[in-house]
Structure 1
C-alpha cells in the first residue's frame, strides 16, 4: 500500500497534492493547459474560441495566473495591432503526463448511456 499523499495532522494545502491543486484547480486552468498542449502556441482569441464558454476577462485572469505560476509563457510582439502568444513553459509541459493519465482514466471509466 502506498503512503498517503495527505498524512494525518497535515492540512491539504501543506502537501504536494494541495500545491498541485492550487496551480491547476478551478474551472478553466486545465482546459487552457490542454489546448496549449494540443496546439503549441495560441493567441488569446483562439483560446477563447476553443474553450467556448469563457469570458474575455476570465481568460485574461487565468492566463495571468498560469503565467505567474510559471506554467505558461507569454510572448508579446511589439507591433500594431499588438500580438501576444501563449505556450506551455517547461514546467507546464511537465504536467502533460498528469493530463494524459486523466484522459486515459476518463476513457476507461466514462459511463455510456444505453
Structure 2
C-alpha cells in the first residue's frame, strides 16, 4: 500500500472518529445538558430544565435518553415520597469536560470580541 493511501486512510479514520463523537454529543441540547450536569453531583429533571432556557420537555427527555443510551448520563430513580429521578454524568462523560472548558473559554472570548 502506498504512503499516500495510508495517509488517506488515517485521515478518514480521524474523520470517522469525529463524526462518531458528534453523533453522540451533537445536537442543540446535549452539550448544554452535559455542561449543566457538570456543575453539580446530580440534578433532578425540573432543576435541569430550569437551567436550560428554551428547552421543551420533549427535547429534554429525548436528549437525556440519548445521552443515557450512549453511556454519558446516569439516571437514578429514588424510592422516596414523593418519588423522583436524578441525573448525573458518568465517568466516561467526565472525560469530555476538559474539552468543554476550552470551548467555554473560547466562547467567552468570542462574546467579548463581538460586543461593542
Measured after TM superposition, the shift of residue 85 of structure 1 is 0.2
**Matched residue of 1:7: which SS?**
helix
5+ long unaligned stretches in structure 1: none
* 1:29-40 map, 5 Å: 29-40=30-41
The TM-score, its normalising length taken from structure 1, stands at 0.83
Map 1:80-99 onto structure 2 (within 5 A).
Answer: 80-99=81-100
Uncovered stretches (5+) of structure 2, i.e. residues with no partner? 1-6
Helix, strand or coil for the counterpart of 1:26? coil
1:15-57 deviations in Å (ceiling 9; x for gaps): 1100110111100000000000012210000011110211111
Q: 1:20 — aligned with what?
A: 21
RMSD: 2.2
Q: Larger Rg: 1 or 2?
A: 2
The answer for the alignment partner of 2:115 in structure 1 is 113
- Which one has the bigger helix percentage? 2
How many equivalent residue pairs?
A: 108
State the match for 2:3 in structure 1.
none
Point out 4+ residue stretches in structure 1 off by more than 3 angstroms.
none
Bigger RCO (CA 8 Å, 6+ sep): 2
